[in-house]
Structure 1
Amino acid sequence: MSDTTIRDRAAGAVMGAFIGDAMGLGPHWYYDLAELRRDYGEWISDYTDPRPGRYHAGLKAGQLSQAGFILKLLLSSLVERGRYDEADFCRRMDTELLPLLDGTPICGPGGYTSQSIRELWRQRVEQKLPWGETGGHADTTEAIERTLVLAVRYALHPAKLAGAIADNTILTQNDDVIVSMTVAYGAVLGLLVQGNPLDEHLSGRLMKLVQKGELPFHAVTSENLQPPRPGAPDPPRAGKFASPDALLTPSYMAAAAVDLDIRIEPAWKVSLVYGMPCAIYHQLPAAYYLAARFHDDFESALLHAVNGGGQNQARAMLAGALVGAQVGLSRIPQRFLDGLADSVPLCRLAVELAAQMENP
């Protein structure tokens, strides 16, 4: 277990995500790495302004993208309500975000509007569909980018963590595989906030929660992924994700990060190994790898996530939360907090959320 306090780790996870979001604002979505280096130099080490004509043009270094804006909406709802209140979150989306959008990609707070939120706008604003009928099929990490605060809030209550994250995810993304991978990331983050290391044993801890019925994943193996006992009944599938594989990924990435025969050098090339695109199955392995390799070094994890190009903003958000949960807010370099727009109120919200964790 980590020697940082649980509240420090919780606040570190939240602020790590905000910092990752803002760090990716300028160099977001460069798939040509030569162009990225030409515009930002050989190594990005701080917040940067987006270039004219890019996804977040007009914003300034240290500001949040729309993903960060939505993350703050859910965080504010959690803090003010003291729990996950879906109706309150939906009301905030209806009044504070959707009226500012028009269904096009470059519109609204934070510059760029993601695919799942554009689909949400069409269903809520144009088609007048009720919440609950608004989920689409985007295969991206957009739900993770906001529900990570639910993972922090319910880190000590894994069944509630899984239920809240699944319920919030399907508001915008309803593919079962995407929902399962989103819940799995939240479960990983929850264990890190508790103080568990991101290592080859973490997935075993997650599987124990599955066996106890606290995480809704289907599994037929016995302990340590051994074959089922002869005559053992098939576990009920109702209400469960099809397989536990999303829970197994982080430990494989953690094992790879410490295996001397497996070297990704420099570490930013993790984006080339696992893929630069936006899809969740590219993003999660890279984030888990960086968070395991640099488990005690927030700056290195963050900068390698950003310098890998492609969907580096999501990669930095996800890795930033995972490493922030391991080092705690107290060990995030001060310069990243100083350069983050509205850092003081964001820190206040993160600390207030951390103080609520013990409550069911």
Structure 2
Amino acid sequence: MAAHDITPSTDDRLRDRAMGALMGAFIGDALGVGPHWYYDLDQLVADYGPWIDTYTRPRPGRYHEGLEPGQPSQSGILLEMMLRSLVDCGGYDEADFCRRLDTELFPQLDGTPMHGPGGFTSQSMRDAWHKRVQQGLPWGAIGGNADNTEAAERIIAIAVRYALTPGELARSVTANTALTQADGTVMAMTTAFGAVLGMLVEGHRLDGDLSDKLMARVKTGELPFHTITQGKLEAPSRKQQEKRHEGLFASPDALLTPSCIARAAHANTIRIEPASQVGLLYGLPCAVYHQFPAAYYLAARFTDDFEPAVLHAINGGGQNMARAMLTGALSGAMVGLSGIPQRFIDGLERAEPLLALAEALAGDIKGHGGEARDRS
């Protein structure tokens, strides 16, 4: 049963995909609250059974203790904070977002992991708190080297907002990521994830052709990645060398990964069964280089089916919350809000305010759009 009936006009399809990406992320986050960070997969099964298919309560003594099924972790809270900032300001306003961190989040933190809204505070946000609150450093000087997906989770809203303007999307995502995570690889992979999500909201598919489309935007200068190749990554001609694109990021590899993984997801000779074991293949920990590939795989494999995509993400253990949040955004962008089962909306705390915010942001999407850019 779908959440809403969406009429098939171009504007409504775009709105459907935008709202699907946002609500898919909120759903993935809340699904992870109970079974978060089980690296002992046998214990995960012992505590929650062989298959988790809904929102659950954390066990005593574990992460997010005290939260109820359907409530958000701090990742979901930060995504909502970003979403509210974008809606209130009509676009990305760094000063406004930083003010919200200073006044709404940081006063609730104490620099320790098992504390703060949502029951846990990530390494990158703890580092930012120490530098900002204890050391008094200005914004722009507190980004650290944590390699988690903390920034990637909140920039989902930015990627949706600027889905039709990829240059602005990349600039805003990169700037926002740098607030808390300054590592070049993390920034490149996070910006690439934002660019992928933007294309899915725009109406493209997560398939073997998506990376070529992303690379075309590198060539036009819309995406800030370095490249010297031509065509299908062939050696550059002399003319091409003279017109090389020296972007902010050293290589476009993070843009090439999604299509490689999408091909693998649909190859007859490559199979991960059950799909939840994608976490074992790419790695159970928190780093971006574990999380993005697994999310791309699940979203590509279950292209038109939100439920198995996010549930396989959750049932894989490890940093399954981030895996489900990222997968939920990608899958939600492809199936749209209309393709998300109603029970996931019904079980989400404060679903109606979140839907209202998502609809408001979707209504703000502007760019060089129209039927020519709609690929659904």
Q: Where on the TM-score scale, by shorter chain, does this alignment land: which range?
A: over 0.9
* 2:15 maps to 1:7: yes
Question: Is the Cα–Cα contact under 8 Å of residues 123 and 134 in structure 1 kept in the other structure?
Answer: yes
Q: How many angstroms does 1:224 deviate by?
A: 1.7
Which of 125, 147, 152 is 1:117 aligned to? 125
Question: Is the Cα–Cα contact under 8 Å of residues 166 and 223 in structure 2 kept in the other structure?
Answer: yes
* 2:108 maps to 1:100: yes
Aligned residue pair count? 360
Question: Is the Cα–Cα contact under 8 Å of residues 218 and 235 in structure 1 kept in the other structure?
Answer: no
Cα distance change on mapping 1:230 and 1:220 into 2, 3 Å: same
Give the distance between the partners of 1:315 and 1:203, measured in 2 at CA: 21
Aligned to 1:152: 160
Q: How many angstroms does 1:146 deviate by?
A: 0.2
Which 5+ residue runs of structure 1 have no aligned equivalent?
none
Give the distance between the partners of 2:107 and 2:211, measured in 1 at CA: 41
CA RMSD, Structure 1 to Structure 2 (Å): 1.5
Which of 358, 361, 365 is 1:353 aligned to? 361
Give the distance between the partners of 1:173 and 1:24, measured in 2 at CA: 23
Which of 200, 211, 214 is 1:203 aligned to? 211
Give the distance between the partners of 1:15 and 1:100, measured in 2 at CA: 25
Q: Give CA deviations for 1:308-359 in whole Å, capped at 9, x if unaligned.
A: 0000000000000000000000110000000000010001101110000016
* 2:221 maps to 1:250: no
Aligned to 1:290: 298
Q: TM-score, normalised by structure 1?
A: 0.98
Aligned to 1:142: 150
Give the distance between the partners of 1:238 and 1:259, measured in 2 at CA: 34
Question: Is the Cα–Cα contact under 8 Å of residues 228 and 244 in structure 2 kept in the other structure?
Answer: no
Identity %: 62
Give the distance between the partners of 2:135 and 2:20, measured in 1 at CA: 39
Q: Give CA deviations for 1:89-133 in whole Å, capped at 9, x if unaligned.
A: 000010100000000001111000000000011011000100000
Aligned to 1:52: 60
Aligned to 1:187: 195
Which 5+ residue runs of structure 2 have no aligned equivalent?
1-8, 369-376
Aligned to 1:129: 137
SS in 2 for 1:225: coil
SS in 1 for 2:100: helix
Which of 227, 233, 256 is 1:225 aligned to? 233
Question: Is the Cα–Cα contact under 8 Å of residues 28 and 311 in structure 1 kept in the other structure?
Answer: yes
Aligned to 1:214: 222
Aligned to 2:271: 263
Question: Is the Cα–Cα contact under 8 Å of residues 220 and 234 in structure 1 kept in the other structure?
Answer: no
- Which amino acid is the alignment partner of residue 270 of structure 1? V
Runs of 4+ in 1 over 4 A off after TM superposition: 234-239
Aligned to 2:249: 241
